[in-house]
Amino acid sequence: MNGNDSRRDRQEASGAATGGDLSGRLQRLGAKLEARRPAPPPSPAQRASSSDPSGLARAFRASSEFIAGVIVGGGLGWAFDKGLGTSPWGLIVFLLLGFAAGVYNVLRSAGLPAPTARVGDVAKPD
């Protein structure tokens, strides 16, 4: 927001000096900025993995993703049992599902193409 404002201000300042159509200049500036921007990485999975800053951050991310999956699975199972009185089966089943979801989270956070490379569309790269 602030950067935008400052850019506009500068634009106005220089526009006042040389004269000229403000919106046209803004558009040209926008196009120039667009051209100078590096091309975005192709797939979201690659984006996710390339945008992580360091190994430490990735490690923290992976561990918390896994733990959160198990916690949510356990919590859901507990609530399920509490509501329906199916103790202990809800907890067992949902804890296992939570474990699976945790592993899935970690795979996804590591940028592996887990959700895209599936049975049936092996030939499709992404």
Do residues 109 and 48 make contact, with C-beta atoms less than 8 angstroms apart? yes
Distance CA 26, CA 5 (A): 12
| Nearer CB in complex with another protein: 3/85 | 3
Distance CA 91, CA 85 (A): 11
Q: x/- site string to another protein, residues 68 to 87, per CB under 8 A?
A: xx-xxx--x-----------
Distance CA 70, CA 7 (A): 47
Distance CA 9, CA 27 (A): 15
| Nearer CB in complex with another protein: 31/67 | 67
The correct pick among 17, 23, 40, 85 for binding another protein (CB under 8 A) is 40
Q: Is 97 in the site for another protein (CB under 8 A)?
A: yes
Q: Which residues contact 10 (CB under 8 A, 6 or more apart)?
A: none
Which residues make up the interface to another protein (CB under 8 A)?
1-6, 9-10, 13-14, 37, 40-41, 44, 47-48, 51-54, 56-57, 60-61, 64-65, 67-69, 71-73, 76, 94, 97-98, 100-102, 104-105, 108, 115-116, 118-121
